[in-house]
Structure 1
């Protein structure tokens, strides 16, 4: 037991990230049933869809689970109302200022965690009253910090800055990486990319295959003038890179991005024109595995690595 397992009432301090177009009720319930904390990714859901996923998740597991809410979501008040009405025990917030909604969620008895990319924002989050922070390094997939601080540097910096528990994220897909995160001061890990390569993830089979095929250097952080995002390289990525190389302004990049591009790539399987958000750790993912097996494998390898180091 540590502060993270106690905070969420879970067996293992392993959290599945709430990723858009991947983290529906099937994935969240599978991870929670295996002893970790599963998160439903609300960022790609209409309010009614979120309510449906929460209810299905509750039918599929009697263990705690949570919802990830990006604070930049246009109808955020509707999502907040739903998680309160449905009595979701845990909410992870990201991509925005936690000051506005943390007191509202806490007043409803919800445990609140905020995702940060710097020690400065970790301190701000602690001051806003969150129960824990996820410190997410530059290696992570999807939306990322402008500072480009790697997990290895970020975790000890955040641990020095705050007294609340720190969950490490970014580049973690194995028990060995989890051991390294704990050595740096983390008390839990949040894992995204590894859980996309599961039968339970709602993302498209072709996207899952692209992750298995990914090699070192196949992802890159881009669109820094808008919101920095790590993408798997494809035709769309190349066009963004070319635009950035000639100094495209934010408006031009917004036009190039268009609408529903992440859905087209990750959910509908358009491998050339879609936005394919995945982390650097994709280069180390070679098998499609059930989510429950991944939780067990990571936990076993974590313990075996500690034993090996002690020897």
Structure 2
């Protein structure tokens, strides 16, 4: 038992991130059944769809699970109402001000965790009443921090700044990566990209295979004028990069992004014109595995690395 497993009631201090278009009830329940904390990603779901996924997740696992809610999306109040009505025990919030909903969620008995990209925002999350924070480094995919602080630097900064548990994220996909984060002071890890390359992830197989094919340097942080995201290089990314290079303003970038670009890429498998959000650690991923096997493998690797931290044979 550690601070994260005690807080969530899980067997392992391993959290599956609530990635848009990847984290449905199948993935969340599989991770939770394996001893980690599975999260349903509400960011790509209409309210009625979120309710359906929560109910199916509850039917598929008796273990703790949660919902990730990006605060920048519309219908947040409806998502919050559904989370409360369905008695979701744990909520992760991101991409917004934690003060907006944390107090009300806590009053209803919900455990609240907020994702941060700086020590400053970690302190604000603690002041807002959050039970823990996810310190997500620059290496991560999806919504990212403008500060471009790496996990190696961010985690100890955040750990020194707050008294609540810190969960490390960004660039972690192995047991050795998990051990490194724990040595830096984290009480657990959150992994996104590793679980995109899982059998239960709802993302398109073409996107999963593109993730496996990614090499070092194939992802870049972009759209910092809007909400920063790390993307695989494709035609859409090149168009964004060209627009930024010529000084496009946020309105022009938003028009280029349009509606449904992430769905087109990650859920429908359009590898040219879709938005392909993934972390730098994709370069270390080489196979699609069942989510439960991922949890068990990472924990086994962690235990082995703990016993032999410098043994690379």
TM-score by length of 2: 0.98
Take 1:117 and 1:140, find their aligned partners in 2: how far apart are those partners?
10
> CA offsets, 1:237-295, max 9 Å, x none?
00110111111111111111111000000000000000000000000000010000000
Take 1:120 and 1:193, find their aligned partners in 2: how far apart are those partners?
26
Q: What corresponds to 1:262 in structure 2?
A: 262
Take 1:145 and 1:198, find their aligned partners in 2: how far apart are those partners?
26
Q: What corresponds to 2:90 in structure 1?
A: 90
- Structural mapping, 1:1-311, within 5 Å: 1-309=1-309
Mean Cα displacement is larger for which, 223-232 or 20-29?
A: 223-232
Q: CA deviation at 1:100?
A: 1.3
Which runs of no fewer than 5 residues in structure 2 stay unpaired?
A: none
Take 1:226 and 1:133, find their aligned partners in 2: how far apart are those partners?
23
The structure 1 segments of at least 4 consecutive aligned residues displaced by more than 2 Å after TM superposition are: none
Q: CA deviation at 1:310?
A: 8.6
Q: How many residues align?
A: 311
Take 1:246 and 1:133, find their aligned partners in 2: how far apart are those partners?
37
Q: CA deviation at 1:72?
A: 1.1
Take 2:179 and 2:85, find their aligned partners in 1: how far apart are those partners?
37
TM-score by length of 1: 0.99
Q: CA deviation at 1:309?
A: 2.9
Which runs of no fewer than 5 residues in structure 1 stay unpaired?
A: none
> CA offsets, 1:38-89, max 9 Å, x none?
0000000000000000000011101010000011121111000100010000
Could you say what secondary structure the match of 2:189 adopts? strand
Take 1:6 and 1:169, find their aligned partners in 2: how far apart are those partners?
19
